[in-house]
Structure 1
Amino acid sequence: VDIINELESEHTNSGDILKELRKITNDFTMPEGGCETFDLTYQKFHELESDIFQHIHLENNILFPRLRNLLNK
């Protein structure tokens, strides 16, 4: 169970980093005069954020509760 708590803590930290990234990029808004590389990079940031938050949701809300239930039997 300690490993689950550690993973949940890592998820919180990852979420905080992604929220900070969104903040410093103005919600992944390409700066004025930005090139195609900026645009592609911000698109990839958005995809990364979506994938990681889906991963966190699945583990925290589905996998970990099931695992805790099995361990407590």
Structure 2
Amino acid sequence: MMQEHDNEGVRFRQIAEITNDYTPPADGCNTYKVTFAMLQEFEQDLHLHIHLENNILFPAAEKLESEFC
């Protein structure tokens, strides 16, 4: 799972780079603007999800596993 999290981090850094940090072109239509905003929100949600798994869920699961094995 940790490798998958790292891979997604790389993927979204690339997306942010090619979208100029989710900045739509000045002449972009509303759909373009909404899509970029939703993509940026998804990235933020993904970072929170990864943080919760890496720093809360996984350590707790490892602790439980060590107690029962």
Same fold flag (TM > 0.5):
yes
Tell me the TM-score normalised to structure 2 length. Answer: 0.91
CA RMSD of aligned residues (A): 0.8
Question: What CA distance in whole angstroms lies between the structure 2 residues aligned with 1:31 and 1:72?
Answer: 52
Q: TM-score, length-normalised on structure 1?
A: 0.87
Relative CO higher for 1 or 2, CA cutoff 8 Å, sep ≥ 6? 1
Identity %: 43
Deviation at 1:71, TM superposition (A): 1.1
Structure 1 spans left out of the alignment, 5+ residues: 1-6
Paired residues, number: 67
Shift of 1:70: 1.1
Superposition deviation, residue 9 in structure 1: 0.7
Which stretches in structure 2 are left out of the alignment for 5+ residues? none
* 1:32 CA drift (Å): 2.6
1:31 to 16, 19, 25: 25
